[in-house]
Amino acid sequence: MNLDAHLAPYAALSATSQGRRFAEPPSSSRTEFQRDRDRIIHCAAFRRLEYKTQVFVNHEGDLFRTRLTHSLEVAQIARSVARNLRLNEDLIEAISLAHDLGHTPFGHAGQDALNACMKDYGGFEHNLQSLRLVDALEERYGAFDGLNLTFETREGILKHCSLENAASLGTIGRRFIERKQPSLEAQLANLADAIAYNNHDIDDGLRSGLLTVEQLAEVDLFARHRREVEAVFPGISGRRAIHETVRRMINALIVDLIQTSEARIAEVQPASIDDVRNAGKLIAFSDPMRQDAALLKRFLHENLYRHYLVNRMTTKARRIITALFDAFMAEPILLPPDYRLPAGQHDLQAQARKIADYIAGMTDRYAMREHRRLFVVEEI
């Protein structure tokens, strides 16, 4: 049975995948991208996403998004669009579920703090860390380190990359140097991430009380759909009104993304994935919708991500990450054995990278617990 038969010729096909870093016999019951998805779901890093921050630190409430629920929402949005464009849903799901595996505890505040700690040792970037996890850090198989995912899934995980880092990554980094595009599935996962992130942060912001409907009424994308909800459901209020509004916003973004991408693909008429790689970006919003999304993102930065209550938590997060890194660098003997260099080795950069791996793998609550263990006497 050819499971790729329904896909467009420009989609990523399992049968023509660029393969895995280590050759493996094909599965008799799954495509290569289905195997990737299954390996990601069963890995330890995926389970840890349940206790990693989206915006609100995990202990602040049970209803706020985590990296796990965010990744599931990205996968759902991306698969809906992929189905309309006849792209590979299994690949898009694998990329979506893996795209945040390398995130630190405490969200972007944690990443920024760890990057500052690592500035003299090669820096830290969560996209590269996600790739490092699936390529090297997961320990599930006897024949190789990592998950041994296909080239196409790994390409989609690596959304951003500096030219310096790209040069050290071999084939997977070549497109950044040659300024080529990834698969349409990878392009789509990136925009599905943005749709999920912005709109669900509105929901969490309102639920937390840090945002108000009156504030959001200043954002045209929200205001338009809020008026539509009130016209369809006179007198509606509270959570129902918010859910109806956010749902319509997500739908508008998805419909625009499908229609704009269909038009771009029809104009270029790619006959294969190689044509996609040599074309410009084909998965995109229309100019008006891109402007609406940018205004929404700016509003969230100014009113939610920089809210003083969020800033208080992110400041604590940066202090925790920095204190942990400094303590481990000063005394590596405080680290679990797997994260120390072998006796007799004195490579500061290699030790710093192991410390970054340890800290990046922590959940929010584990990082706070480690901090207490190191710095609070009562926790000994």
Judged by DSSP in three states, 150 sits in strand
pLDDT tens per residue across span 271-299? 999 999 999 999 999 999 999 999 999 99
Q: Report the alpha-carbon distance of residue 373 to residue 11 in Å, rounded.
A: 50
Instruction: Give yes or no: residues 104 and 246 share one domain.
Output: yes
- Domain boundary residue, one of 309, 335, 365: 309
Q: Tokens for 337?
A: 């054995």
Instruction: Give yes or no: residues 141 and 167 share one domain.
Output: yes
Instruction: Give yes or no: residues 272 and 339 share one domain.
Output: no
Report the CATH number that the domain containing residue 43 is assigned in CATH. Answer: 1.10.3210.10
Q: Report the alpha-carbon distance of residue 148 to residue 163 in Å, rounded.
A: 24
Q: What local confidence, expressed as pLDDT, does residue 2 receive?
A: 66
Task: Report the number of distinct structural domains present in the chain.
Answer: 2
Instruction: Give yes or no: residues 235 and 136 share one domain.
Output: yes
- Domain boundary residue, one of 254, 277, 309: 309
Instruction: Give yes or no: residues 274 and 319 share one domain.
Output: no
- Domain boundary residue, one of 309, 338, 366: 309
Instruction: Give yes or no: residues 257 and 360 share one domain.
Output: no
Q: Between the CA of residue 329 and those of 291, 319, 344, 349, what are the distances in Å?
A: 44, 15, 16, 10
Indicate whether 8 belongs to any domain: no
Instruction: Give yes or no: residues 233 and 104 share one domain.
Output: yes
Instruction: Give yes or no: residues 266 and 127 share one domain.
Output: yes
What residues make up the domain containing 333? 310-379
Q: What local confidence, expressed as pLDDT, does residue 306 receive?
A: 86
Indicate whether 6 belongs to any domain: no
Residue ranges in the chain modelled with pLDDT below 70 = 1-3, 54-64, 379-380
Q: Between the CA of residue 154 and those of 9, 18, 98, 212, 349, what are the distances in Å?
A: 21, 11, 9, 39, 25
Q: What local confidence, expressed as pLDDT, does residue 204 receive?
A: 85
Indicate whether 14 belongs to any domain: no
Indicate whether 292 belongs to any domain: yes
Under the phi-then-psi rule, with left for phi > 0, alpha for psi from -120 to 50, and beta for the rest, what region is 103?
A: beta
Q: Tokens for 129?
A: 């860390």
Residue carrying the six token digits 């999920």: 196
Instruction: Give yes or no: residues 65 and 95 share one domain.
Output: yes
Q: What local confidence, expressed as pLDDT, does residue 58 receive?
A: 47
Instruction: Give yes or no: residues 298 and 362 share one domain.
Output: no
Instruction: Give yes or no: residues 163 and 83 share one domain.
Output: yes
Contacts (Cβ under 8 Å, ≥6 apart) of 242:
203, 206, 213
Instruction: Give yes or no: residues 357 and 246 share one domain.
Output: no
Q: What local confidence, expressed as pLDDT, does residue 344 receive?
A: 83
Q: What local confidence, expressed as pLDDT, does residue 310 receive?
A: 84
